[in-house]
Structure 1
Amino acid sequence: MSINEGYTLTVLGAGVMGSAVLSAILASKPSPFPGKIYCCTGSESSAQRLQTTYGESVIATFGKDNVKPVEEADVIILGCKPYMCQAIIDSVKSALNSDKIVISLLAGWTIEQLQNVSGTSYIARVMTNTPAKYGCGTAIVSFSNDLQDSKFDSTRDSIMKIVDTVGMAMELPEKNMDAATSLVGSGPAFVLLMMQALAEGGVRMGIPYETAKKCAAKVMEGTAKMVLESGQHPEALKSMVCTPGGTTIGGLMVLEDKGIRGSISRAVEEAANIASSLGKK
């Protein structure tokens, strides 16, 4: 089994994450690139919105009309909410078969569960995040045992190219997926809270909000790029910013007094625990 140029891609459940990945694919045009793209939703208004957004690049459908796109699909991106998965799969069950490749964006649903409901063994379980819409997302990918066979090397490579369009894709064993759901999937919300706090601190000290917001966002962007490009441990980079007796070490001591480091780490832990329960019946 391989994914060939001009294959048919069906986004089943083109909500926030499904649309984010679709936008990334259309912007990056990975090879192989789909010759036909369907967007399947639950309502006529959603289908019309998607058709307006993506124009001739996609064919948007809803309701009973979703069966044909699933039937024609070589690759299905499952992008619905976890609690909606069973009902959506049931609504197109007649169109599913063992030859489909399913790329699941669902938090909590295991590869085994996805195999059972979809009827195919070829599953790529993906956790990504909302920055994917802008090509600067992160994605973790786990493959089903069947796809890990050496004869599917090119298929896995094609899937990684599809997923990599979000910004950066990395492969991990499925046992790490709940932690990835928290760190990667929920992480943007944690970062946005920190960004908001930085901006509001600037406002408190007299900087106009719009300026403070842009400064906070750029500080976080630049710091992240510094970590990625330098390869150094964040602690080492942090120490470079701290002048003895200076402003930075003073501010850091306040953060440590308030337990900020532990609170953020515990937030990741709690989100991972919740993620592990999402697919349980």
Structure 2
Amino acid sequence: MTLKDYTITVLGCGVMGTAVSSAILKSKVEPFPAKLIACNTTEAAATLALETLNSPIVEHSFGLESNRKAVSQADVIILACKPFMYQTIYDEVKDSLTGKQLLISLLAGTTISELTIFTPYVAKVMTNTPARFGCGTAGISFSPEAEAKYEDLVLKLIGTVGEAFKIPEKNMDAATALIGSGPAFCLLMMESLIDGGVRMGLPFEVAKLSAAKVMEGTARMVLETGDHPAALKSMVCTPGGTTIGGLLKMEDAGVRAGIARGVEEAAVISASFAKKK
């Protein structure tokens, strides 16, 4: 594969496939792909992906024969289907695989060992939906072959989602819970802040904007200062004030433990996927 002229084929260009593809296309990453082919099972889904990605280098593909051709053209394959579908997809496209292609998998609960049926060169990625807007997070594990040959390329491509870093594969279930499921957990917290604001008289739109900006600003504060969240939290707690009163109510309700246990449960479920096969 020449790094100046390569094709990415996305198998299952739905929510996450589109999110990662959008991040790559909006970036100035070098080497930039010459072509990206968005593959889906139906014409409607493929057309939607084409319209969403909205780039002159994007083509869409749907149906078995078309998708097989797209795989045969690929230098990099992004596997973005549902986890339980990967074996079926492999069976459909195996004759189009060269054994030299790089596979970037976005699948939860599927191991690198399982994915080497496609190619020895496997990068397993756990990212999240904010990737579409360039503010996502991604943990990456590599097969030995992919790490030796394609580590730099993968880190550059996946780094376009926002923040990307290498982790051991044994930590992937935890990453699935915190990175992959984390946006839903944050949205639940945001929804709760909105509800509280509305309960106390704020118009919904004001409460929504305020909650979103509070979470955005707080995240930025943690990243910019590097301080532990507990230290930053203590700076907001005036003795006898509103914040410490509200925090104690949340502690009484088990909010801290509930969130931590939610991450734990999501990781346990992710690990169970592999055990069920």
Point out where structure 2 has 5 or more consecutive residues left out of the alignment. Answer: none
Deviation at 1:69, TM superposition (A): 1.0
Residue 62 of structure 2 aligns to which amino acid in structure 1? Answer: F
Does residue 219 in structure 1 map to residue 214 in structure 2?
yes
Q: Percent identity?
A: 58
Whole-angstrom distance in 1 between the partners of 2:98 and 2:262: 39
Q: Give 2:228's match in structure 1, choosing from 222, 227, 233.
A: 233
Aligned partners of 2:14 and 2:49 also within 8 Å: no
Deviation at 1:191, TM superposition (A): 0.2
Residue 134 of structure 1 aligns to which amino acid in structure 2? Answer: F
2:31 aligned counterpart, secondary structure = coil
Deviation at 1:47, TM superposition (A): 1.4
- Give TM-score, length-normalised by structure 2: 0.96
Residue 112 of structure 1 aligns to which amino acid in structure 2? Answer: S
Aligned partners of 2:177 and 2:267 also within 8 Å: yes
1:1-281 to 2 correspondence within 5 Å?
4-53=3-52, 54-64=54-64, 65-116=66-117, 118=118, 120-149=119-148, 152=149, 155-279=150-274, 280-281=276-277
Whole-angstrom distance in 2 between the partners of 1:5 and 1:242: 54
Label 1:35 to 1:55 Cα distance change in 2 as closer, same or farther (>3 A): closer
Deviation at 1:55, TM superposition (A): 5.0
Report the more deviating stretch, 11-20 or 48-57. Answer: 48-57
Residue 110 of structure 1 aligns to which amino acid in structure 2? Answer: T
Whole-angstrom distance in 2 between the partners of 1:52 and 1:259: 44
1:99 aligned counterpart, secondary structure = coil
Whole-angstrom distance in 2 between the partners of 1:205 and 1:249: 18
Residue 265 of structure 1 aligns to which amino acid in structure 2? Answer: A
Spell out structure 1 runs of 4+ moving beyond 3 A: none
Aligned partners of 2:9 and 2:70 also within 8 Å: yes
Label 1:113 to 1:3 Cα distance change in 2 as closer, same or farther (>3 A): farther
Coordinate RMSD, CA, aligned: 1.1
The superposition leaves residues 28-53 of structure 1 with CA deviations (integer Å, 9 ceiling, x where unpaired) of 13101110111110101111222233
Whole-angstrom distance in 2 between the partners of 1:105 and 1:174: 13
Aligned partners of 1:3 and 1:32 also within 8 Å: no
Label 1:257 to 1:171 Cα distance change in 2 as closer, same or farther (>3 A): same
Point out where structure 1 has 5 or more consecutive residues left out of the alignment. Answer: none
Aligned partners of 2:13 and 2:40 also within 8 Å: yes
Whole-angstrom distance in 1 between the partners of 2:231 and 2:39: 48
The superposition leaves residues 51-83 of structure 1 with CA deviations (integer Å, 9 ceiling, x where unpaired) of 233253311001121011101111000011111
Whole-angstrom distance in 2 between the partners of 1:79 and 1:52: 18
Report the more deviating stretch, 91-100 or 191-200. Answer: 91-100
Deviation at 1:3, TM superposition (A): 5.5
How many residues are treated as equivalent by the alignment?
A: 274
Aligned partners of 2:25 and 2:55 also within 8 Å: no
